[in-house]
Amino acid sequence: MNILINKVLKDPKYQSLNYVLHQPMRMLLRDTEKLTEEEKRYAMNIFTHNDFVLYHKIDKMPALVIEVDGHEFHAANPKQLKRDQLKNQVLEKYDIPYIRMSTTGSEEERRLREKLDEVLH
């Protein structure tokens, strides 16, 4: 995914974006007022991170969070599925766009470009 993101961000239409790898979730949130207690505990945990955060270079505001879901780790793991659900809920409450990519998926580049076009326009 790292290689793919680098490739896509070289496209001139995405030149206003950059990204970070493994950013703590709590660094994305200015406050926790919108969160339930469960969401707050999850989001503020030092081990909760986002796989990739694409952000606008000028104001450093997040443009898109990319989560990579490993098939073996996510498929039959109820605890991980719950954490994924919590992360989705938090991102949605703060209007931070996200996309989940499976390690067994296909057409990741097309999906990433479509999502970037959607959030940038």
Is residue 78 over pLDDT 90? no
**pLDDT number for residue 67:** 95
Exposure string of 61-90, with b = 16+ CB inside 10 Å and e = fewer, is ebbbbbbbbeeeebeeeeeeeeeeebbebb
**pLDDT number for residue 104:** 76
Lookup: tokens for 62: 């997040």
The alpha carbon of residue 108 and the mean position of all alpha carbons in its chain are separated, in whole angstroms, by 14
**What is the average per-residue pLDDT within 3-28?**
96
β-pair partners for 69? 102
